[in-house]
Structure 1
Amino acid sequence: MYLSRIQSLRQAAVLEDCSDQLDILGLTLAVQMEKEQGPAAEQEKARLTKLMRDCQCASQQVFKLHSELQEKQSITSLLQVVEEVEQRKKAEDIRREAKTELEQRIQTLQRQKAELQQKKETLEDMSLLKLDLNYQLNAQSSRMANVEKSMALQVLRDTSQAEGQLEDQRELLQIQLMEEKKVHVRSVEFLQSHQEELQQQLQQWQQRTRQMLQEKEQQLNNVCCKRTVTLDRLSEMRRKFKEMEQVVMEEREEQKRLRREQAEAKAATKLQAWWRGCMVRRGLGSFKKADDKKGKKKKKKEGKKTKEGKKAV
Structure 2
Amino acid sequence: MLEFQRAKLLRDRKLLSDIIRATVVEMAETGGWRCLRQAIISLQQRAEQSTVLQQDHDRLRIVRAAVTNELKSKQKQNAKELRLCDMHITFLKDKKEDDIKNAELRLVYAEKWLNAQAEVLEMQHRAPRATRPSATNETRVHRELSRAYDLQVEEREKAVEYWRVKYSDDTSSINMRLAVKCEQLRVAVARREELQKLYNLHEGEMRSWLTFKRERAARLEREERVRRAATTLQAWWRGLMVRRGLGAFKHLRSAKKTPNKMKKK
TM-score under structure 2 length normalisation:
0.42
Q: Which has the higher contact order (CA 8 A, sep 6+)?
A: 1
